[in-house]
Amino acid sequence: MGRTRNYRRWFLTRVKKAISDYSMISDGDRVVAGVSGGKDSTALLFILAYLKSYSHLRFELEAVMLDLGWGEVDFGPHRELCRRLEVPLHIRAHPVAQIISEKADMNPCALCGKLRAGILNNIALDLGASRVALGHHLDDVIETWFLNLIFTGQMKTFLPSTYLSNTGLTLIRPLVYLPERVTVGLVRSEELPVITNPCPYNGFTKRDEMKRIVRELSARYPDFRERFLTGLQNVSLENLWKQRGGFRSRPPGDGVPARGEQGS
């Protein structure tokens, strides 16, 4: 029990530091957590609910789940989780799968991410939210960096906090200091429900290739993820080369930022 308590204190400290470093949540904010039902977004929901109840942060929290039309999905376990956490849950259906099938000439992952982002943001606005929380973690940060480097020739990844001037919403990613193994461990230790990704493209994207690269590098260099995080916040600008302006592209197989904007 003591070990579990110490482990929880460790990762909660990291989440609170990310929230503080990037001013993600202020007193009185209404935060909508985008929950796909996967391990990461479910862990995000659990962590935010815990912080809402047991930290100095004072904010309102609601959860949104989307039925994208990829097949029958059982939302019952997440309804029960939200009831237990005392977090209002909103489930909305939208024919994203049908739209993607009708636009065979477009990149399905990029289109799905764009559609989910728009739907989630519109629901958040309807709920009067000021923040939309997404479940992207440190592995997602690194994978997105490699996607951009390899497929667009740019050294960049998504930001921990992004203000959307067209909506007035701020996208926040409170888990960016946590490696993926933490969300895996949390879901297991707390016996949180997880919905298997029903998307037919799951497991066959360029992002999955980047996941393998990150795993291989981490196996060879155990501190790789931590060094990468340190490097993102310790850039030697004077040693960067002369910059070329105006270059814009997108990596194939995935939208950027990571896995669309609903959360993972």
**Rounded Cα distance, 22 and 223, in Å:** 24
Asked whether residue 255 is assigned to any structural domain, the reply reads: no
Asked whether residue 173 is assigned to any structural domain, the reply reads: yes
pLDDT digits (tens, 9 = 90+) for 87-122: 999 999 888 878 887 777 777 778 888 889 999 999
Asked whether residue 193 is assigned to any structural domain, the reply reads: yes
Residues 118, 129: contact at Cβ < 8 Å? no
- The secondary structure of the chain as a DSSP string is -HHHHHHHHHHHHHHHHHHHHTT---TT-EEEEE--SSHHHHHHHHHHHHHHHHSS---EEEEEEEE-SSS----HHHHHHHHHHT--EEEEE--HHHHHHH-TTS-HHHHHHHHHHHHHHHHHHHTT-SEEE----HHHHHHHHHHHHHHHS------SEEEETTTTEEEE-TTTTS-HHHHHHHHHHHT--------TTTT-SHHHHHHHHHHHHHHHSTTHHHHHHHHHTS--GGGSPPPPPS-----TTS-SSTT-SS--
Asked whether residue 48 is assigned to any structural domain, the reply reads: yes
pLDDT digits (tens, 9 = 90+) for 54-64: 999 999 999 99
State the Cα angle at 158 between 153 and 162, rounded to 5°.
140
* Whole-prediction pTM: 0.88
Name the amino acid, one letter, at 171: L
**Rounded Cα distance, 17 and 13, in Å:** 6
Query: Does the pLDDT of residue 252 top 60, yes or no?
Result: no
Asked whether residue 245 is assigned to any structural domain, the reply reads: no
Total domain count, the chain: 1
pLDDT digits (tens, 9 = 90+) for 177-186: 999 999 999 9
Asked whether residue 252 is assigned to any structural domain, the reply reads: no
Query: Does the pLDDT of residue 176 top 90, yes or no?
Result: yes
Asked whether residue 164 is assigned to any structural domain, the reply reads: yes
- Range(s) of the domain holding residue 168: 2-234
Asked whether residue 260 is assigned to any structural domain, the reply reads: no
What is the pLDDT confidence band of residue 127, given thresholds at 50, 70 and 90?
Answer: very high
CATH number of the domain at 214, please: 3.40.50.620
Q: What are phi and psi of 110, to 5 degrees?
A: -65, -40
